[in-house]
Every structure is written in structure tokens, then in C-alpha cells.
Amino acid sequence: MELDLQNIGTNGIHLRVALAGQGPLVILIHGFPESWYSWRHQIPVLAKAGYRVAAPDLRGYGGSDKPHAIEAYAIQPMSSDIDGLIASLGAERAVVIGHDWGAAIAYGTALFHPERVRAVAGLSVPHLGRGPMPGVELFRKIYKDRFFYQLYFQEPGVAEAELEADVRTSLRKIYYSSSGEGQKVGARIESPAGPGFLDRLIDPDSFPPWLTGADLDYVVGQFRDSGFRGPLNRYRNSERDFEQLAAFDGKLIAQPAAFLAGSLDSVLRMIPGVDMVELMRKQFTDLRYVKLFEDAGHWLQQERPAEVNAALLEFLRDLPSCSPA
């Protein structure tokens, strides 16, 4: 399957986009800290099944533009990037699928630009609605006496310096700790010697086979070139996101929707005592497909590519007016 990488203008910036196939448009949105490459197993399968697939590097990542301002990474402009991308690709509507922060951006696109989104699917991160307060404020209450990575990420420059000092080690630790394999062995250091994020994560002797050395080489190269400021800025917009989503407080997402996650994904345990999947069901009028993958972790479409591909195709084929030609 031939893959076409193009720089495409949208919302006043340019995104590098991996394109393949012909048919109804499907947008695949990656999360942190990744790139279009996290969808490498889905792009050819969806394209072969009769869909036109577009997987961008989000603003701040890889080959895409990297605005400096923190506010450039709030939910509204990032959702508008996807809206503009759909238009630039000549489509009226698309199915928008996202993983991690990409899931939040997919949900945001469905809210801010409902006319563009035929259906929406999230992987790993559920949509819980706007909530009573910004997420960062909630996490300050929950984790007031403990380290929590999203709070550590708030101060510009601090996490950047730590993650950029040794990009390969940073990515190995992040990917392993949140994987199904890492979660099963409890791959965190109970009493870290240092104050940073990476001090709390283990660098495994060998990595699970779902991320090969060549795969890691590619992603490491992307972050060595682009740095981590743009990706980390997404975490620094919690209060701004809360303001921008005010118009949708209590509003349900109306498009057909799906949610996929690993049973060992730590995101689902981020708010103690809350069943996030059940809470998510209350945020949609048509959450028609929910699937948890046993023993899988956070990097779902890479850890379980064949199963995720089958689930996405099942969801897509059941959508009205979205069957491949």
C-alpha cells in the first residue's frame, strides 16, 4: 500500500498528513507523545477496505507547524485544525477517530464542528463531558500530596528539559510504563531518587515486540527534530479548554460513537472511584460500540493492531452512508 505524506493547509497552519486509499474519509488523530506513525497498522487496512485515510501529525509534532504560544494548543484551535483538514481534503464530512489526546480532539471536533463529523471514535481516553471544574484543578485536589505527571507538566520548560535530554530513553520509559506489559509488572519506581517524571518510570531491558527498534528509531527522530514544547502545551490549556467548552456544558455528542480501550489502561483509573466507561455512556445519544481489550494497555492500536482494526471496521461498516465503494 503506497503511503503519501503531504503538507496540507488548515486553520492558518500546515499539517503533515499521511494519506492512503479512496472512499469515505476517515481521520486518524494521534496522542502524546506520538505522531501519525502510531496508526501505521490501521492506515493500510482501512485503505484496503475502501476508505480514504488521513493521519496528521498534530500541530507541534513531527512535520507539522509548531506555534510557540501555549494558547495555540487549546481544544478549540486543535479541533478547528481537523475541521479545516476535512475541508482541505475536499470532503463534506468524515469519521474522526482519535487516541489519547487525539480522542479528546476528536470529541471536540464533533462538538465544535458537528456538520463535519459523520461519526466519532475514541481510543483509550473517554469523553466525560465538561465537568464541574477544569481537569487540572480536579487533579490538584486528587493528587495534592502525590506526584502527578499532568501537574508536573504545567510549568513551561521543566518537562521539556527532562524529556529532551535523552529522547530515546524518555520514549522507551513512557511507552513501556503505560503498556499492558508494563502495567502487569507494575513498572514504576516506588521511591524515586529524583524529582522528575522519568525518575518514576522503568527503562526495560527488552521492549515488547509491538514496538520494534525501527519503530522507535522513527519516533525518536521526530521528537529530536520537533522537541516536546508543542505536545506539552496541550496539557497547559486545561482552564482554557474549560472556558472554550462552556457552550457545550451538558450537551450530548449526537453522532454515532465508539470507544475502545485496554483493560489495563491507567487512564481509566485516573479518577479514583469513578467508572469512566459508565460515565462516558451518559455523554452520548448514540454510543453504539464499546469494547475493552483484556490485558492491553494505553497504546492500544499498536499493542493490539489486528483486534483494533477489526473493531474499527465493524464500527465503520455499520454507519449509514459510510460503506466503502
**Contact, 95 vs 322, CB < 8 A?**
yes
**Contact, 38 vs 31, CB < 8 A?**
yes
> Is residue 31 pLDDT above 70, yes or no?
yes
What type of residue sits at position 17?
V
Entry pTM:
0.96
Averaged over 61-74, what is the pLDDT?
Answer: 98
Question: What pLDDT score was predicted for residue 188?
Answer: 79
Query: Which of 14-23, 189-198, 309-318 shows the lowest per-residue confidence on average (mean pLDDT)?
Result: 189-198
Query: Which of 47-56, 74-83, 197-206, 256-265 shows the lowest per-residue confidence on average (mean pLDDT)?
Result: 197-206
Question: What pLDDT score was predicted for residue 185?
Answer: 87
> Is residue 242 pLDDT above 80, yes or no?
yes
Provide the 3-class DSSP secondary structure of residue 64: coil
Question: What pLDDT score was predicted for residue 52?
Answer: 98
Averaged over 93-120, what is the pLDDT?
Answer: 98
Percent over 70 (pLDDT), the chain: 98
In 10 A of CB 53, how many CB atoms? Answer: 28
- Comparison of pLDDT for 294 and 3, the residue scoring more: 294
Question: What pLDDT score was predicted for residue 325?
Answer: 59
- Comparison of pLDDT for 194 and 283, the residue scoring more: 283
Average pLDDT, rounded, for the chain: 95
> Is residue 40 pLDDT above 80, yes or no?
yes
- The one catalytic residue among 57, 81, 83, 100: 100
Phi-psi domain of 234 (left: phi exceeds 0; alpha: psi -120 through 50; beta: other): alpha
CA distances from 3 to 19, 44, 242 (A): 6, 8, 37
Catalytic residue flag (residue 286):
no
CA distances from 249 to 57, 114, 198, 299 (A): 29, 15, 36, 29
Averaged over 182-194, what is the pLDDT?
Answer: 84
Averaged over 121-143, what is the pLDDT?
Answer: 95
Averaged over 280-304, what is the pLDDT?
Answer: 97
CATH classification number, 4-317, choose in 3.40.190.80, 3.40.50.1820, 3.30.750.80, 3.60.10.10: 3.40.50.1820
- Residues 105 and 82: their CA atoms lie apart, in Å, by 8
> Is residue 145 pLDDT above 80, yes or no?
yes
Please name every residue paired with 56 in a beta bridge, in sequence order, or none if there are none.
17
Question: What pLDDT score was predicted for residue 280?
Answer: 96
**Contact, 22 vs 95, CB < 8 A?**
no
Question: What pLDDT score was predicted for residue 323?
Answer: 66
- The one catalytic residue among 30, 99, 127, 298: 298
- Comparison of pLDDT for 116 and 2, the residue scoring more: 116
Q: What angle do CA 323, 281, 251 make, to 5 degrees?
A: 90
CA distances from 230 to 90, 109, 127, 153 (A): 28, 19, 23, 12
* Strands 94-99 vs 117-123: parallel, antiparallel or unpaired: parallel
- Residue 114 pLDDT grade (very low, low, confident, very high; cuts 50, 70, 90): very high
